[in-house]
Amino acid sequence: MAELKYQPVLHDHEAFLKKALKRNEFREAYEDLEENYVLAREMLSARSKSGLTQEAVAELMGTTKSVVSRLEAGGKHAPSLTTLKKYAQAVGCRLEIKLVPNTCPTSRSTPAARRTARLMRGVMPTMREGDGKMTTKTIEEQAKELARANKQAEPAIEKVYWFPSDKEIRLVELEETMVPALSGHVEPFYFGPSPQDGLTAPSGIAIIQTKEFGKLKLPRGWGSWSDAVALEV
């Protein structure tokens, strides 16, 4: 039997990518994942500079190597801020988050951008009476409208729960595909009031996996899971 010799196949990644991006389907999929992979590259670069292995980072984070591997692999599920902070500290860095204005707005946004916009929006159009005056809404009314708007913007939401409060809007949204909360806590995004948009109180919106409902630790002051009110969305 003739001896088989290994012959490596040359691959020009830049040429391949340039050609592939001409296909609409590939370009859209690539753009959807681009933000996640930019983060993954940042993480890999930081760990490389620190000289640490995945095992060492996992030990410093108090987790497993497989978790660190998934974080560095990127993908459609974004890690929580708590997880990113732990990773940054493990590799000798500090986490910085910036909002950069779009220089070339487009009619299409990535899933990550859509979710950020949905959370950052956090306001509802103000109801107006016939004379043009603003109609004051209760926190519960604002919570219900915000929940319906979020469901419309993100069909993957299965349920939305409101935690009654006379100080702020508190919503927990359930999504089966959401990345697990490694911290064991519900971690809301908080936003200030915007009276001109009908949002008269601060708001906190959290997204968790459906199976985590009732199991994660709620933020201080949110009460207990038994206080949660299911909203019609």
pLDDT class of 167 with cuts at 50, 70, 90: confident
Is pLDDT of 108 > 70?
no
Residue 172 domain-assigned?
yes
Return the closest-CA partner of residue 146 out of 218, 194, 187, 82: 194
Number of domains into which the chain is organized = 2
Domain of 43, in residue numbers: 14-90
Residue 97 domain-assigned?
no
Q: Which residues pair with 205 in a beta bridge?
A: 171, 189
Cα–Cα distance, 179 to 78 (Å, whole number): 7
Residue 4 domain-assigned?
no
pLDDT digits (tens, 9 = 90+) for 113-146: 444 444 444 433 333 334 444 345 788 998 998 8
pLDDT value of residue 109: 40
Residue 127 domain-assigned?
no
Note whether 69 and 148 are same-domain residues. no
Residue 67 domain-assigned?
yes
Residue 70 domain-assigned?
yes
Residue 218 domain-assigned?
yes
Give the domain CATH number at 223.
3.30.460.10
Cα–Cα distance, 146 to 149 (Å, whole number): 5
| 32-36, 173-177, 213-217 — most confident range | 213-217
Cα–Cα distance, 106 to 118 (Å, whole number): 17
pLDDT value of residue 204: 87
pLDDT value of residue 72: 81
Note whether 78 and 141 are same-domain residues. no
Return the closest-CA partner of residue 189 out of 106, 78, 92: 78
Cβ atoms within 10 Å, residue 210? 14
User: Considering the entire predicted model, what is its pTM?
Assistant: 0.47
Q: Which structure tokens are listed for 12?
A: 């020009």
Note whether 147 and 74 are same-domain residues. no
**The domain boundary residue, chosen from 90, 111, 144:** 90
pLDDT digits (tens, 9 = 90+) for 19-63: 777 787 777 676 666 666 677 778 888 888 888 999 999 999 998
